Copies of this chain bind each other. A is one copy, B any other.
Amino acid sequence: MLDYKLLEALAAVVDCGGFEKAGEVLDISQSAVSQRIRTLEIRLGQPVLVRSPMPRATPAGQRLLNHVQQVRLLERDLGSAIPSLSEPAARLRIAVNADSLATWWAGRVGRFCARENLLLDLVIEDQDIGLRRMREGDVAACLCSSPQPVSGGRCVPLGVMTYLPLATPDYIHHHFPGGLTDARLERAPAIIFGPNDQLQHRFLAQVGYHGKFPHHLCPSSEGFVKLALAGMGYGMIPEIQARSDITAGRLASIAPGHQLDVPLYWHFWRHGGEMMERLTAELRQP
């Protein structure tokens, strides 16, 4: 069998972003960590880590990390069959889209995590990066809007998230006094999540506008809502996130009747073990 001490050292260096912290986590010295990585590389005949600026896995190292994470998931199942084997708590690393994490995610999985003694390492990624990290073995599951399963993975639908084009009533009164027009959309500042965020463009196409528009960039789900509440722009906000602000009259739609429904899919490894199956079943409950 493989020497899992060496693989564990590799996983710790990549997880912790450095040799020193990996040593702390593994309770060994930094030089012992380095020695394990070197031994692994000598056995493999190729590097598993790029050292700088931050340690990250080479393609060979990534295949090893994928393997380590799968073995860990299988160990969890063993741990529930033979409790004396199990560590204090299981860990799962999952990529989640920012808006889900800012809204419904914790409410749906919180009870499950407490019951199963499961700890989560959450990473926020858009879908392309999230799925790439899953292929690379860096995360065990990914919640995103792509329906395309990765090789070795499965994918189940989890419903849709509805987005509304919202701004403060003052903002709407100032920028769109007579409703949306091309001339006004060309000047009214919008808020978008990042350069890859296409929601705003899709909404504008829906109302028949295809030109440029000024915009703030704000890659934070909660920050996004705060910018809208401060009257800095209009933006596509999940309806569940804005509900209380809409009810209280702090936010309103700039185009009543228009919305975008973004589907959500749960991607997970086909052989991810029983804990993953149970988490998936929990998420699929209506």
Contact = CB atoms under 8 A, between A and B. Distances in A.
Given A221-B222, A226-B101, A229-B106, A88 B120 contact: no
Contact of A220 (B16, B88, B217, B221): B221
Given A105-B226, A110-B231, A120-B218, 18 more contacts: A17-B195, A88-B187, A89-B214, A96-B223, A101-B223, A101-B226, A107-B229, A109-B230, A110-B230, A114-B232, A122-B216, A122-B218, A124-B220, A220-B220, A220-B221, A220-B222, A221-B222, A222-B222
A154 interface: no
A237 B176 CA distance: 38
A15 B196 CA distance: 11
Interface string A216-258: 1111111100110111100000000000000000000000000
Contacts of A229: 106-107
Residues of A in contact with B, size category:
35 or more
A106 B220 contact: no
A113 interface: yes
Contacts of A110: 227, 230-232
For this chain, the copies found in one complex come to: 2
Given A111-B231, A232-B106, A216 B15 contact: no
Given A15-B195, A106-B227, A217 B122 contact: yes
Contacts of A101: 218, 220, 222-223, 226
Contact of A195 (B16, B109, B227): B16
